[in-house]
Amino acid sequence: MTVATPEPKKKVNRIGLKQEIYRGGKTTLCAGCGHNSISERIIDACYRMGVNPDRVIKLSGIGCSSKSPAYFLGSAHGFNAVHGRMPSVGTGALLANRNLVAIGVSGDGDTGAIGIGQFVHLMRRNLPLLYIIEDNGCYGLTKGQFSPTADYGSKAKTGVVNDLPPIDTCALAIELGASFVARSFSGDKKQLEAVLTAALSHRGTAMLDVLSPCVTFNDHEGSTKSYAHARSHKEALEDLSFVPYFEDIEIDYEPGTTQEVEMHDGSRLYLKKLEQDYNPLDKMQAIQALHETRSRGEFATGLIYVEPKKADFIDVLNLVDEPLATLPQNRVRPPESVLSEIMEGVR
């Protein structure tokens, strides 16, 4: 007699969803493209945090990176904006519906070149949005031209040497007022997932620059955005662990070696200090660390700067609690008498 073994129960997260719900369409990007690993980590982070995909809006501009929202959270809302214009679309969406969870994916070209003006104003407004730059130092979609994050002296596949200095999007974001700024590498699974989960619990703009090699146009010797270069030149500022508010985990640590940062929702970040005594709550130290590592030809990774309790754009505008999009007409439209009064006043 054969006894049927029961099907193993599929695991679900805290809102009862299986991990596959967080997947999207099959990727059309090149095999080995760093952007695909980032999509995987977004899926893991949203699953762990129990983000409801129905409440998510995925936003992007134009580029291989900007195509990637199609490959995660298939049931979420999505808006693929014009090149470099994702921030204004995101601002409109969040002001219309403050209950949305906004995840924006951009590229180093989409952000640093055509979209730099919109990026600047997004950072200073502290809109509650997770903004990910999938940074490969080139315009992958249009065949690998240097982008504004390409390092000085970096060599293109054609042999051309970049003779312009790069824009450091993290330093720029900190200077402009972003309240959560991190840098990671698509090949560093543990760090990237920790940073993404922390970013999802942050209220305000979380800006993540993720080094994401383009295997087709920028993964050769002489490139400073290749897998080999990233692996040998990344310098973690701290060893990061994230404990969401709904997980009852106690972390044991030696006093003086680990810093605890509490997020606005009660989640906790544990930052185990590595060789230097780094404090991501200190803006000046953050900018200095970016400059110092860059001058050594390295790039700092981890949580670079955080200001967990800064007022976000929704607070600053003092918006009503209910999303504007679902308020009834009589609450969004001034009555005839008020309009007449205004007209009287301008006669």
Ligand X SMILES: Cc1ncc(C[n+]2csc(CCOP(=O)(O)OP(=O)(O)O)c2C)c(N)n1
Beta strands 180-185; 206-211: pairing state: parallel
For residue 166, state whether it binds Mg ion (rule: CB under 5 A): no
For residue 209, state whether it binds Mg ion (rule: CB under 5 A): no
Interior angle at CA 297, CA 296 and CA 298, nearest 5: 90
Q: Under DSSP, is residue 178 helix (H, G, I), strand (E, B) or coil?
A: coil
Please report, as ranges, the residues that interact with ligand SF4 according to CB under 6 A. 29-30, 33, 35, 64, 136, 140-141, 214-217
Shorter beta-carbon distance to ligand X: residue 212 or 241: 212
Question: Which residue's C-beta sits nearest to ligand SF4?
Answer: 140
CB neighbourhood size of 108 (10 A) = 29
Shorter beta-carbon distance to ligand X: residue 192 or 269: 192
| Span of 23-31, 50-58, 108-116, 228-236 interacting with Mg ion by CB under 5 A | 108-116
Shorter beta-carbon distance to ligand SF4: residue 29 or 73: 29
29 binds, among Mg ion, ligand X, ligand SF4, none (CB under 5 to 8 A by kind): ligand SF4
Helix or strand (DSSP H, E) at 210 = strand 206-211
CB of 114 to ligand X, least distance (A): 6
- CA distances to 266, 303, 337, 339, 340 from 346, in Å: 50, 52, 15, 11, 10
Shorter beta-carbon distance to ligand SF4: residue 91 or 218: 218
Shorter beta-carbon distance to ligand SF4: residue 118 or 216: 216
Residue with tokens 């972003």: 178
CB of 140 to Mg ion, least distance (A): 5
Amino acid at 120: V
Residue with tokens 């970016």: 290
Q: What residues between 38 and 57 interact with Mg ion by CB under 5 A?
A: none
| Span of 35-43, 100-108, 273-281, 320-328 interacting with Mg ion by CB under 5 A | 100-108
- Specify whether the CB–CB gap between 60 and 80 falls below 8 A: yes
For Mg ion, what does the binding mask look like between residues 117 and 136, x meaning CB under 5 A?
-------------------x
- CA distances to 168, 338, 340, 341 from 329, in Å: 45, 15, 18, 20
CB of 42 to ligand SF4, least distance (A): 16
Name residue 208's beta-bridge partners: 132, 182
For ligand X, what does the binding mask look like between residues 137 and 166, x meaning CB under 6 A?
-xxxxx----x-------------------
Query: Which member of 45, 49, 62, 240 binds ligand X (CB under 6 A)?
Result: 62
215 binds, among ligand X, Mg ion, ligand SF4, none (CB under 5 to 8 A by kind): ligand SF4
For residue 108, state whether it binds Mg ion (rule: CB under 5 A): yes
> Helices H, strands E: what count in the chain?
12, 13
Q: What residues between 103 and 122 interact with ligand X by CB under 6 A?
A: 107-110, 114
d(CA 312, CA 7): 46
Amino acid at 232: S
Which parts of 212-328 are beta strand (E)? Answer: 234-236, 238-243, 258-262, 268-273, 299-306
d(CA 287, CA 295): 12
CB of 64 to ligand SF4, least distance (A): 3
d(CA 41, CA 35): 10
191 binds, among Mg ion, ligand SF4, ligand X, none (CB under 5 to 8 A by kind): none
Contacts to ligand X by CB under 6 A: 62-65, 83, 107-110, 114, 134, 136, 138-142, 147
